[in-house]
Copies of this chain bind each other. A is one copy, B any other.
Amino acid sequence: MNINGKPMRTIWVKPDGFPVEIIDQTALPHAVKTVALKTCDDAAYAIQAMLVRGAPLIGVTAAYGVALAMRDDPGDANLDAAITDLAAQRPTAVNLRWALDEMRAVLAPLPEADRARAAFKHAAKLATDDVEMCRKIGVHGLALIRDIAAKKPGKPVNILTHCNAGWLACIDWGTATSPIYQAHAAGIPVHVWVDETRPRNQGASLTAFELQQAGVPHTLITDNAGGHYMQRGEVDLCIVGTDRVAANGDAANKIGTYLKALAAHDNKVPFYVALPSSTIDWSMAKGSDIPIEERSPDEVLNITGRLADGKIASVAIAAAGTPARNPAFDVTPARLITGLITERGVTTATPEGLLSLYPERRSGGLAVA
């Protein structure tokens, strides 16, 4: 997708193969800054401090982190250390573990001398694969939007999304936003209700920014407001991303997703979760087993933004000494999810639905995405 008219991805390698570069997403929407990742530690920091975020992008960044580690020291001990360190940065998104498992499987059998080159090559493949999966998610989701548009000719399809499951959460296209971008490109009128997504405001700072850059009509609302608009018939469809889908179809996603799923269910608004298959955790029977990351209370107590003079600053919103808690994700039960939009098609959020799209999982075999 484009920023200021220039095509960009969220992570790339400089033409001479080093360093890896990313968009520093903590600076958006106020500034477009790129940051170089030169070591595995740089990659781990970028994941932890959320310079990169979003389950698919976390996975690819971790893969490049392993590649950077192999560039410095391709030994077995360093491979293990890099994977262990990277895996510890964010507990909820399963793509992190998935990407590291992929990298280990490719690199461990190789002689040390071949590992760095193979690691960069495989990380690039994961990135390319993610772009293609997101594109396909968009194709399948577009059909859902087209169906709704056909029922309200001349009026926009109103889509609510939470957090940022946009191209900034992936490599390109996004998961939840891919159907939206493809509908917009196909000339279907769409309008997106963008949840602010406290505490880190990824809706306000990333999703609204993405949609603005792409020229897609949108309106920023507080996280509190979505239920009201659903009650009033002003939401036709919800599409969100996810950080981990359990084998029963339960989906962990940014905190507050569950509340929107409840409101959608109460108002008979279809609620879809968009994901590449790398986000399915076949080893986890149900969502309540998914580890929920708890982040610093400071993210709740302080909000960063742009002062009138253009400078970036944080303001404290509560009295000094106010205790706060900050769970970063919640789990939406499968019963509230109308369907899962994957690169292989749309299915129900059930074990049967998932297995119908990924039949190779019936035998317990390795997923082939």
- Report which A residues bind B (CB closer than 8 A): 29-30, 196-199, 201, 204-205, 208-209, 212, 218-229, 231, 254-256, 258-260, 262-263, 266, 288, 292, 297, 300-308, 312-319, 321-327, 329-331
Contact for A224 among B223, B263, B319, CB less than 8 A: B223
A222→B256 contact, CB < 8 A: yes
B223→A29 contact, CB < 8 A: no
A263 to chain B: which residues have CB within 8 Å?
258-259, 262
Contact for A197 among B199, B224, B227, B321, CB less than 8 A: B224
Minimum C-beta distance from A14 to chain B (A)? 28
A225→B315 contact, CB < 8 A: no
Residue of B nearest to A330 (CB): B228
B256→A225 contact, CB < 8 A: yes
Contact for A29 among B228, B266, B300, B318, CB less than 8 A: B318
**For the complex, what is the distance from the CA of A329 to the CA of B288, rounded to whole Å?**
32
Given A222-B300, A256-B227, A259-B259, does the pair A315, B318 have CB atoms closer than 8 Å?
A: no
B315→A303 contact, CB < 8 A: yes
Contact for A212 among B224, B305, B313, B321, CB less than 8 A: B321
A224 to chain B: which residues have CB within 8 Å?
197-198, 223, 254-256, 259, 330
B228→A292 contact, CB < 8 A: yes
Chain B CB within 10 A, most for which of A29, A218, A258 = A258
**For the complex, what is the distance from the CA of A316 to the CA of B260, rounded to whole Å?**
25
